[in-house]
Structure 1
Amino acid sequence: MASCSESQVDLDTIPLVALNMSLRKKLGLYLNPRNMVAADWMAVAETMGFTYLEIKNYEASKSPTETVLEDWRARNKDATVGKLLSILEEVERKDIVEDLRPLIDENVKKYCESLKKKAEPPVQVAEVDSCLPVVPERVGITLEDDPEAPELFDAFICYCQSDFEFVHEMIRELEQTEYKLKLCVFDRDVLPGSCVWTITSELIEKRCKRMVVVISDEYLDSDACDFQTKFALSLCPGARNKRLIPVKYKPMKKPFPSILRFLTLCDYTRPCTKSWFWVRLARALSQP
């Protein structure tokens, strides 16, 4: 749990998600350029524990620094703001720490304030009219949302937590390669603090062109996945031509969900078609 006492904030307890996308992009401006004198993103990635092959693959990313930070956060529970600052000092980039420290402190302050608001009891409303429509377009629900231009995605990824390692591979294969697709991964892209069902519905219906459903035995037991799948299927054909793409990446003991049997499956478990898997999926998601 993050320590956000008013007297002093322990940065070693503040998760990396507290740093917004604007600040991560600024870090990229310092670290992305290859530097023969000062340490660049490669030195940071190596200090974080990434392998040589992983680092070489990151070179294809639009912003290697941002990709490394995201992957580090996804695989490491100790990925905190304090640990990041320690790594920057370890690779002798104190200049970055000094230049960006005011912005970092501001981000951490806002993060702590959001935690405090979540802990407060809800405000009681005197009267609620259930007939009033929900605001048609919400902003500020994803990391890169802009009040004038809500963030849009090529596909919403429906998955359960036990399948996140495959989702991580999907991110590398579809976002960080020549396909340059933009995936909506709830744990990565959605800001904490709002109603899960409301945000999920809006993302699927209004922000994402398609939905990829990662099928597994665990998926069949997930209430969240069940809701997301049924909601997407309930949308009328005119709702941005919504199309579901079921993906099976490992053998299953339970029967394949009957609700998705009429859709063409993208099967990662078949050796004869595995080499075409990512190409087929990327092409399907790239369709207008």
Structure 2
Amino acid sequence: MACSDAECDLETVPLIALNVTVRKKLGLYLNPRNTVAADWMAVAEEMDFTYLEIVNYKTTKNPTAVILDEWQARTKDATVGKLLSILMKLERNDVLEDLRHQIDEDVRRYREKAAEPPVQVPVVDSCVPLTSEKSGITLRDSPEGAPELFDAFICYCQSDFNFVYEMIRQLEQTDYRLKLCVFDRDVLPGSCVWTITSELIEKRCRRMVVVISDEYLDSDACDFQTKFALSLCPGKPLSYLPGAQKRRLIPVMYKSMTKPFPSILRYLTLCDYTRPCTQTWFWVRLAKALSLP
């Protein structure tokens, strides 16, 4: 069956555009085993998961969330349009009717925040300027147009700034001599926030440190920054990514959380400051990860 222009257009929108709220509601519909309507297992089969994989996912608390994350990580076909096609094929019209407005809203917000699709580059290298299109956006940009480059972009929310300040002290003002991009300190006012953020993450910074907290989960800016960074390498297992892209995102947690850890980051090794027994090595490990070529 031919799709409408709007539905075909959704085939180009990655699944990462769907926010936590929509994913939770999908779980509420699909997690319960149902003898009448298709459940998460039927969706997993349509996504080409094997029988053994599906059996193992039965033991998880939220199998729908797991298969969405796994599908998103393993294939370029993990798009919003493909998910809607699967639900339509399985005749889950109740899900489509109830969630379509929220899905469309997530897609709209995703497109607004990333108006220009990210340019795929084989290697992220802070030593060689990759663009000269946007200059004069950071404090030390050269008047001649040479862009200022950084070792890492720091993704954080305002309530966590005291920890970011300590990160600056530990990584910039010690022998590590790393150069961090801290938005409130380094970015000049007057430019479009989303455009400049995309430019910095994609072309000015070799890596991104994500400061995870309960407040981070409620931040639209942090949500966009994290998903944009992940979208730079869509559909590739981490083991196949060259060089710096193997560790493009480094999640950091410095205080205990009451909310679930973000599922899109749970496959990345965490730098955890919450355990007193490992705090001694925390800054050494983080600095080493940011210093690697």
TM-score range, shorter chain: 0.5 to 0.7
> Does the 8 Å CA contact 1:158/1:229 hold for their aligned counterparts?
yes
Which residue is 2:135 aligned to? 139
1:223 aligned partner, one-letter code: D
> Does the 8 Å CA contact 1:205/1:239 hold for their aligned counterparts?
no
> Does the 8 Å CA contact 1:143/1:191 hold for their aligned counterparts?
yes
2:259 aligned with 1:254, yes or no?
Answer: yes
Which residue is 1:265 aligned to? 270
2:220 aligned with 1:223, yes or no?
Answer: yes
Which residue is 2:164 aligned to? 167
2:140 aligned partner, one-letter code: E
State the alpha-carbon separation in 2 of the partners of residues 138 and 239 from structure 1.
25
Q: Secondary structure at the match of 1:279?
A: helix
Which residue is 2:203 aligned to? 206
State the alpha-carbon separation in 1 of the partners of residues 202 and 132 from structure 2.
11
Query: C-alpha deviations, 1:52-97, integer Å up to 9, x for none?
Result: xxxxxxxxxxxxxxxxxxxxxxxxxxxxxxxxxxxxxxxxxxxxxx
Query: C-alpha deviations, 1:119-165, integer Å up to 9, x for none?
Result: xxxxxxxxxxx99x999620000000013420000000000000000
> Does the 8 Å CA contact 1:248/1:268 hold for their aligned counterparts?
yes
2:188 aligned partner, one-letter code: L
RMSD (CA atoms): 2.2
- Of the three residues 268, 276, 285, the one matched with 2:290 is 285
Could you tell me how far 1:230 is from its partner in structure 2?
0.1
Which residue is 1:92 aligned to? none
Runs of 5+ consecutive residues of structure 2 not aligned to the other structure: 1-114, 120-130, 234-240
- Of the three residues 241, 248, 259, the one matched with 1:243 is 248
Identity of matched residues, %: 81
Could you tell me how far 1:227 is from its partner in structure 2?
0.1
Q: Secondary structure at the match of 2:276?
A: coil
1:138 aligned partner, one-letter code: K
2:286 aligned with 1:276, yes or no?
Answer: no
> Does the 8 Å CA contact 2:212/2:251 hold for their aligned counterparts?
yes
Could you tell me how far 1:239 is from its partner in structure 2?
9.8
Which residue is 1:182 aligned to? 179
Which residue is 2:128 aligned to? none
State the alpha-carbon separation in 1 of the partners of residues 260 and 132 from structure 2.
38
Number of matched pairs: 158
Q: Secondary structure at the match of 2:209?
A: strand
TM-score by length of 1: 0.52
State the alpha-carbon separation in 2 of the partners of residues 197 and 161 from structure 1.
17
TM-score by length of 2: 0.51
State the alpha-carbon separation in 2 of the partners of residues 282 and 239 from structure 1.
17
State the alpha-carbon separation in 1 of the partners of residues 201 and 256 from structure 2.
27
1:144 aligned partner, one-letter code: R
Runs of 4+ in 1 over 6 A off after TM superposition: 133-136
State the alpha-carbon separation in 2 of the partners of residues 168 and 144 from structure 1.
19
1:201 aligned partner, one-letter code: S
2:148 aligned partner, one-letter code: E
> Does the 8 Å CA contact 2:152/2:290 hold for their aligned counterparts?
yes
> Does the 8 Å CA contact 2:252/2:270 hold for their aligned counterparts?
yes
Q: 1:240 to 1:247 in 2, by over 3 A?
A: closer
State the alpha-carbon separation in 2 of the partners of residues 278 and 183 from structure 1.
14
